Amino acid sequence: MTRESRLQGDWRDDAPASAESVWDYPRPPRVEPARARVRVVLGGVTIADTGAALRVLETSHPPVYYLPTRALRDVGITPSARTSFCEYKGSATYHTLCAGGRTEADAAWSYPQPSPGYTALTGHLAVYPSRMDACWVGDEIVRPQAGDFYGGWITSGIVGPF
């Protein structure tokens, strides 16, 4: 752990014993049901509020939460031309989200035809928390992972460094 990572809040000496270290997460990543309610707000509108989210856990990364598309409401979702490839999950498609008069290009992604082992992600969409008004896991507001590549959701129950 570096002094810089400690100052950035990526590592906490005061973390509860129950905290998950991202260094204990597996590679290849694991998909599992989220244990808490997940909420997302964009443009002042709650676009998701679900107890059926999934989370993907991968070594050294904060969890990424995937929302069932059936749980999304009051939001325009438009596929964009942007794509990416994950060696584990497969080809991702990005989406522009619009709610409450706010538009965020490429603020979400999905795996329409995920690789074997990740088919649970079919019909789910992940969002970059940094691009939303707010995201919650349970009653805790999420701190976005730095940058807009991985889209991790940091809560008090997660420790790094990331």
- Amino acid symbol at 46: T
- What does the alpha-carbon distance between residue 115 and residue 134 come to, in Å, rounded to a whole number? 30
Q: Is residue 83 part of a domain?
A: yes
Q: For residue 2, what pLDDT is reported?
A: 38
Q: Is residue 5 part of a domain?
A: no
Instruction: Let me know the angle formed at the C-alpha of 38 by 32 and 42, rounded to the nearest 5 degrees.
Output: 130
Tell me which residue has tokens 């999905």.
Answer: 110
- What does the alpha-carbon distance between residue 95 and residue 100 come to, in Å, rounded to a whole number? 17
> Per-residue confidence at 149, pLDDT binned at 50, 70, 90?
confident
Q: Is residue 6 part of a domain?
A: no
List the domain range (segments joined by +) for residue 85: 29-155
On the question of pLDDT at 3 being above 50, the answer is no
Helix locations, the chain, DSSP H: 3-7
Q: For residue 10, what pLDDT is reported?
A: 52
β-pairing, 124-127 with 102-110?
antiparallel
Q: Is residue 47 part of a domain?
A: yes
* CATH, residue 47: 2.170.150.40
Instruction: Report the number of distinct structural domains present in the chain.
Output: 1
- What does the alpha-carbon distance between residue 71 and residue 39 come to, in Å, rounded to a whole number? 10
Of the two residues 158 and 13, the one the predictor is more confident about is 158
Beta bridge partners of 140: 137
Q: Is residue 9 part of a domain?
A: no
